[in-house]
Amino acid sequence: MEDVIVVAMVFGTGMVAIIAFSPIGRAIANAIGRKGGGAPAPELGAAVDDLADRVEALQRQVSELAERQDFAERLLARAREKGLPAGGSS
């Protein structure tokens, strides 16, 4: 009798696993997740806002660095045009 119970448990566990990882199981999980609440948690919203602020700051820094690089390239081009020796060696 115990063998039958063990076989039934193994079979039942296998069936649950197959259903859980199938598209039907994913659809059920999505439906359960939507019932839990559609609005994100306040902490999540604050984290997203913080990340958006960081991205904007990084974009400003990249823009500033691009402007500095352009300026340095213009100075080097002028120096080459005038025939000035390259600096850096002492």
- For the chain, give every domain's residue range: 1-38, 40-83
pLDDT tens-digit readout, 35-62:
765 556 677 888 888 999 999 999 999 9
In the chain, % of residues over pLDDT 90? 32
Q: Please report, for residues 39, 45, 58, 65, the alpha-carbon distance to residue 35 in angstroms, rounded to integers and kept in the order given.
A: 11, 19, 37, 47
Are 86 and 79 a contacting pair, CB within 8 Å?
Answer: yes
Closest by Cα among 11, 13, 35, 36 to 21: 13
Please state, in angstroms and rounded to a whole number, the distance separating the CA atoms of residues 18 and 16: 5
Number of residues that this document lists for the chain: 90
Predicted TM-score (pTM) of this structure: 0.45
